[in-house]
Amino acid sequence: MPLTLRPAVPADLTDCALFFAEIFNGEPWNEAWTREDAHQRLSDCMATPHFLGLIAEDGAEIVAMAFGFSQRYQDQWHYNLLEFCVAAHRQKEGIGTRLLEELHARLQADGVARIYALTARDTPAQQFYEKCGFYLSPKMILMARRY
């Protein structure tokens, strides 16, 4: 069955949350997402103004997803890619690249000037984003503070 790329809609939330938790609880991330936490995270993403999420499906199976939102910055629109994942058993097939290319095409058509992605340093994810044309921003850094 051919791969289908389509916008994420609220009816996808439960399936996306299960997929998300499965991916990020596995290698190399080894995080501890519960079904409820993943559902809340993706629900919050979807509720963000100017949300755009895409899903890649092989038949009825979700094999990749991208969730984020656009926001105005001076005279431009910028897209913040909040969550992106590809099923572990489907990586290296070009699915993630195809999903990012579709996202890029939709964002360009909407006049978005930049895409920002946050990921773990020195990981296969960083290498993937660099292969897809992303670069380490010389102007921006991530700052954090613990409580």
* pLDDT level of residue 79 (50, 70, 90 thresholds): very high
What does the pLDDT look like over 6-61, one tens digit per residue?
999 999 999 999 999 999 999 889 999 999 999 999 999 999 999 999 999 999 89
Q: What percent of the chain has pLDDT over 70?
A: 99
Q: What is the DSSP string of the chain?
A: --EEEEE--GGGHHHHHHHHHHHHHSTTT-----HHHHHHHHHHHHHSTTEEEEEEEETTEEEEEEEEEEEEETTEEEEEEEEEEE-GGGTTSSHHHHHHHHHHHHHHHTTEEEEEE---TTSHHHHHHHHTT----SS--------
pTM: 0.93
